[in-house]
Amino acid sequence: MSMSLREQLLKAGLVTEKQARQAERQQKQQQWQQPKQARGAPKPPAPAASQQAAAKAARDQELNRKQQEKAAARARVAQVRQLVEQYRVPRIESDDYYNFVDGGKVRRIPVDASLRRRILEGELLIARCEGKYDLVPADAAARIRERDASAVLPPPASTGDEPAPDDPYKDFVIPDDLTW
């Protein structure tokens, strides 16, 4: 059987028991003082693990970006709501309505003669907020349009007295009392 180096040195009488123990103790201390990597610590991650970590970081960044976009959109909606509530013209009780088209459907707002005139002149515009329509001044509409362009309906087209040359109804007279 083979003996360890320590036992062979002791048997030969080259070292004493005390010297052998001290040498072992120093060897163990040196081992623990070395960096963990040199002591047989886990090796650096494999390339597949680093790729997975990079993919996870990319997914996390994408989720973060989406959450920030949602938060910004909610903030814009809140700003639009606040502007509409702050600048809207009070609704009136009237049997006369201003009709307009939004999303392919005809909508209407109760108006009186002065409100109708202001709408047609472009002083007031129609703002959509949370499924409701309100009249707001043109300068407030510009501020709303900065935050959400689809919240403000375009002003009514100026109708010229001259019909288009290819208009099939150009020969028919429009009654003066017709209001749209």
**Residues 4-13 pLDDT 10s:** 887 888 888 8
Decide if 125 contacts 135 (C-beta within 8 A).
Answer: yes
The burial of 15, by beta-carbon neighbours within 10 Å (0-12 exposed, 13-18 middle, 19 or more buried), is given as middle
**Residues 78-96 pLDDT 10s:** 999 999 999 999 999 988 9
For the chain, give the percent of residues with pLDDT over 90. 42
Kindly state the tokens that stand for 100.
């307009």
pLDDT at 3: 72
pLDDT at 27: 86
Mean pLDDT of 135-150: 92
pTM over 0.75: no
Pick the range with the lowest mean pLDDT from 4-8, 13-17, 162-166: 162-166
| Neighbour-count burial for 87-114, b at 16+ CB within 10 Å, e otherwise | bbbeeeeeeeebebeeeeeeeebebeee
**Quick one: pLDDT band at residue 74, thresholds 50, 70, 90?**
very high
pLDDT at 9: 81
Kindly state the tokens that stand for 133.
């329509």
**Residues 101-119 pLDDT 10s:** 988 899 999 999 999 999 9
Domain ranges of the chain: 54-157
